[in-house]
Homo-oligomer: A and B are copies of this chain.
Amino acid sequence: MTQGAVSRLIQSLEEDLGLKLFTREGRGLSLTPAGEIYHREVSDAIDRIGAASRAARYSVDSGILSISAVPTFAMRWLIPKLPDFQAVHPDILVDVIAGDGPTNLALGEYHLAIRFCEPPFGDVVAQRLMSEEVGALCAPALLRNGRPFERPEDLLRFPLLGHSTRPEAWPDFLSAMGLGPLPAPKPSFEHFFMLAEAAVAGMGIALIPLFLVRDELAAGRLVQAVPMTIRPRRAYYLLHNRPAGQMRMVRAFKSWIRRAAAEPSSRPPVARAGQEA
């Protein structure tokens, strides 16, 4: 869809509604208050149609197994391993949907969900996949001759990049190092892979689960700023509702992922670097 097409659609929509949804201010444009409200309502409604469609599609056992997974976990861990699952179960097609936020398992919008959360309770079936080890990572250029900071206070000399859905991460880490509360408001990103990009680019120091940035660590694009890692209480869980547990596809996936998660996920950097050479 080109820019021109969108411009035209906006125009005809504004004409239909009889009001301006955007304020044009020279080179840019931004939503009017009415436009904001309308956008919220309509995109909400469209989301519901999408959800209903997925629920309908996945309600029949069509050989498609749908999984809502937290974005970076899906990108860096799940998807790379999927070919293996495919090889074991060629008849099951896996459909991965990026999804944060609370799960809507009851609606049947997807069969399985992978979330980073506390051990869940209630009417949901949960399988713990793995915990993670979080380190303070940055580009090597930020360190003096490639060595980690000696004093924890040195961390505070750089922007501490945050993750929108984990506001507690930096406070936890700093207090574990015996430092006070987080000094300044920091730039934060929605996904770890964005955070990783920012750190690689030298924007500052980011708290990232090590297994998500194996490659960057192995290649030396990211290094630990201080020789310490923490293990959050939250972990990755595979979730589904009780009825879904009956499905052949779900059972197959659960037994596969149990084994996949048991494998050592963060190989020693040396071996990894060797593979890349």
Binding site for B on A (CB under 8 A): 16-19, 34, 37-38, 41-42, 44-46, 48-49, 51-53, 55-57, 59-60, 62, 64
Contact = CB atoms under 8 A, between A and B. Distances in A.
B52 A45 contact: yes
Contacts of A38: 52-53, 55-56
A56 B60 CA distance: 38
Contacts of A60: 18-19, 34
Contact of A49 (B42, B52, B55, B59): B42
Given A34-B56, A34-B59, A41-B51, 9 more contacts: A17-B57, A18-B64, A19-B56, A19-B57, A41-B49, A41-B55, A42-B49, A42-B53, A44-B48
Contacts of A45: 45-46, 48-49, 52
A62 B57 CA distance: 43
Contacts of A46: 45, 49
Nearest to A48: B45
Task: State the oligomeric state as a number of copies.
Answer: 2
B56 A37 contact: yes
A42 B52 contact: yes
A18 B42 CA distance: 25
A11 to B, nearest CB: 15
What are the 4 tightest A-B residue pairs by CB atom distance, in nearest-first order? Answer: A41-B52, A45-B45, A45-B48, A45-B49
Residue among A17, A37, A56 with most chain B CB within 10 A: A56
A53 B49 CA distance: 17
25 contacts: A16-B53, A17-B56, A17-B57, A18-B57, A18-B62, A18-B64, A19-B56, A19-B60, A19-B62, A37-B52, A37-B56, A38-B52, A38-B53, A41-B48, A41-B49, A41-B52, A41-B55, A42-B49, A42-B52, A45-B45, A45-B46, A45-B48, A45-B49, A45-B52, A48-B48
